[in-house]
């Protein structure tokens, strides 16, 4: 691409470094910004810089936060007995969006994956064990991806927690609502039969 302006070229290149944004899309976005008021572009630019500069990670659960302790950990209406272990803050948001979970979270910051060079020591595991030991948590829900890495991480965590008086559960695997049986993989289908529920449960969930 040939640019007649270095300012535009720099802006396009910066956009194009974001995931899923190619040069053409980057150019479209830059030309859009060019048409906006200077104050609006300044606002856009400030929001990004300020976000990265001022964001904190909650000292309890490692979720992103504007303050030392995140709004979920700071809430007084949430259930202190339950901790849901997730890989990333994106998962916290996904679960929060369901508006069905009222416990606390613990963000691992990844999952154990030797192939990517991620071992247990890089994850927020030590603080989880400490929380369980000191805060009288009664149930830890493992909400990790159903992959080999996810299962490895669940296994590792369950060993770390096995001497503590805490119940360990995993989120249910099964056929998604609206999913069709014939398209489900065999593993999921087999597990969903194995973990079948009484009809009363099904009606409640609906």
Residues that bind a copy of itself (CB under 8 A): 1-8, 10-11, 13-14, 17-21, 25, 27-34, 36, 38, 41-55, 63-66, 70-72, 88-90, 92-93, 96-97, 99
- Shortest Cβ distance from residue 194 to a copy of itself (Å)? 33
98, burial (CB in 10 Å: exposed 0-12, middle 13-18, buried 19+):
exposed
3-state secondary structure of 168: strand
Closest to a copy of itself by CB, 5 or 169: 5
Residue with tokens 């990004």: 48
Q: How far is the CB of 35 from a copy of itself (least distance, A)?
A: 10
User: Rg of the chain's alpha carbons, rounded to an integer?
Assistant: 22
CB nearer to a copy of itself: give 96 or 130: 96
Closer CB to a copy of itself, 55 or 197, in the complex: 55
Smallest separation, CB 11 to a copy of itself (Å): 4
Compare residues 18 and 171 and give the one whose CB is closer to a copy of itself. Answer: 18
DSSP state of 113: B
Contact 137, 82 (CB under 8 A): yes
Q: Minimum distance from CB of 197 to a copy of itself (Å)?
A: 28
Nearer to a copy of itself (CB atom), residue 98 or residue 204? 98
* Parallel/antiparallel/unpaired status of strands 56-57 and 64-65: antiparallel
Please, what sign has the CA dihedral across residues 94, 98, 99, 103? negative
Distance, in Å, from the CA atom of 11 to the CA atom of 25, rounded to the nearest integer, reads 12
Give the residue with the Cβ less far from a copy of itself, 26 or 128: 26
- The least CB distance from residue 9 to a copy of itself, in Å, is 9
Which stretches does DSSP call E strand in 80-147?
Answer: 82-86, 104-107, 139-142
Residue that the structure tokens 């609502």 belong to: 177
Shortest CB 119 distance to a copy of itself, Å: 19
């Amino acid at each position: 691409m040939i640019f007649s302006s270095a300012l535009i070229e720099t802006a396009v290149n910066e956009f194009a470094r974001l995931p899923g944004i190619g040069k053409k899309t980057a150019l479209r976005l830059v030309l859009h910004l060019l048409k906006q008021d200077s104050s609006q572009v300044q606002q856009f630019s400030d929001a990004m810089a300020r976000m990265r500069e001022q964001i904190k990670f909650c000292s309890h659960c490692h979720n992103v936060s504007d303050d030392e302790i995140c709004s979920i950990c700071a809430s007084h209406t949430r259930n202190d007995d339950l901790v849901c272990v997730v890989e990333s803050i994106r998962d916290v948001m996904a679960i929060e969006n369901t508006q069905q979970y009222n416990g606390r979270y613990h963000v691992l910051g990844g999952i154990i994956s030797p192939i990517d060079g991620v071992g247990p020591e890089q994850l927020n595991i030590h603080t989880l064990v400490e929380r369980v030991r000191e805060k009288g948590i009664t149930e830890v829900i493992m909400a990790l991806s159903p992959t080999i890495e996810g299962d490895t991480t669940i296994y590792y965590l369950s060993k770390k927690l096995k001497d503590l008086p805490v119940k360990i559960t995993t989120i249910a695997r099964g056929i998604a609502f609206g999913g069709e049986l014939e398209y489900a993989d065999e593993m999921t289908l087999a597990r969903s039969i194995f973990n079948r529920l009484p009809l009363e449960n099904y009606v409640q969930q609906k």
